[in-house]
Amino acid sequence: MDKLSEEEKNALKLLTEKSRNDYKAFEKFRKEEYPKKSLEERIDYWAGLIRKNMKWQGESTGDEYDGMFTKEWFDENVEFDPEFDKIFSAVAKKLELDMNKVLEIKKG
């Protein structure tokens, strides 16, 4: 860190603080807010999140499915919400996802 300018050190410090605050906010959401959501609210939450991420992927790579729906992604989300498989089925219908493509990606 000695080779960084004061401006760079301050920027790094702010970034670290923001990351820490973002993590704390997510942990609060994960532990306190998300568990209180109904099944329908969780479906809406995931539909919005997946829609947004697919839009970003499409703009970034030209393929909105790129990097999405991997086995690891599914496993992490089932760990986050044990009902994720049920939720994802509803989300897939809601977003009219190409399930052949999703299953192909999930298989690796």
- List the chain domain ranges: 1-36, 38-108
| pLDDT for 108 | 76
- φ, ψ of residue 21 to 5 degrees: the values are -65, -40
Q: What is the pLDDT of residues 25-75, one digit of tens each?
A: 999 999 999 999 999 999 999 999 999 999 999 999 999 998 899 999 999
| pLDDT for 55 | 96
Pick the more confident residue, 51 or 23: 51
Q: What is the pLDDT of residues 81-106, one digit of tens each?
A: 999 999 999 999 999 999 999 988 88
Dihedral of alpha carbons 101, 105, 90, 24, sign: negative
Q: Which of 105, 45, 107, 56 is nearest to 80 (CA)?
A: 45
CA 81 – CA 90 distance, rounded (Å): 14
Q: Measured between alpha carbons, how far apart are the two ends of the chain, in Å?
A: 40
Q: What is the pLDDT of residues 12-22, one digit of tens each?
A: 998 899 899 98
| pLDDT for 43 | 98
CB 42 within 8 A of CB 83: yes
Query: Look-up: residue for tokens 């839009």?
Result: 55
Checking if the pLDDT of 1 tops 70, the result is no
Quote the pTM value. Answer: 0.79
| pLDDT for 107 | 85
Q: Tokens for 49?
A: 């999140």
| pLDDT for 97 | 96
